[in-house]
């Protein structure tokens, strides 16, 4: 009787271990996806800031060129 009990107990522990492993595997996958999304968002913000700074510099440069051109013609 003890042997049958221990076999069924072992089978139950194995089944629980498999379920437990799958559960934590899913958590790890979710955490990995979240970290990838955070890295992507950070890169997007960095690139957007760089683009906006470049556009502002281009506008300022264009404005200063127009002012210099108008000053020469007067």
Stated pTM of the model:
0.53
Q: How many CB atoms lie within 10 A of CB 46?
A: 10
Cα-Cα end-to-end distance for the chain? 109
Model pLDDT, residue 1: 43
pLDDT tens digits for range 1-60: 445 568 888 887 887 777 777 667 777 888 899 999 999 999 999 999 999 999 999 998
Give the DSSP per-residue string, 8-67.
Answer: HHHHHHHHHHHHHHHHHHHHHHHHHHHHHHHHHHHHHHHHHHHHHHHHHHHHHHHHHHHH
């Amino acid at each position: 009787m003890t042997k049958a009990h221990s076999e069924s107990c072992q089978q139950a522990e194995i089944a629980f271990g498999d379920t437990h492993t799958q559960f934590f595997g899913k958590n790890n996958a979710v955490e990995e996806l979240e970290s990838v999304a955070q890295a992507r968002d950070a890169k997007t913000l960095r690139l957007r800031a760089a683009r906006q700074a470049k556009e502002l510099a281009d506008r300022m440069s264009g404005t200063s060129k127009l002012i210099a051109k108008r000053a020469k013609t007067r």
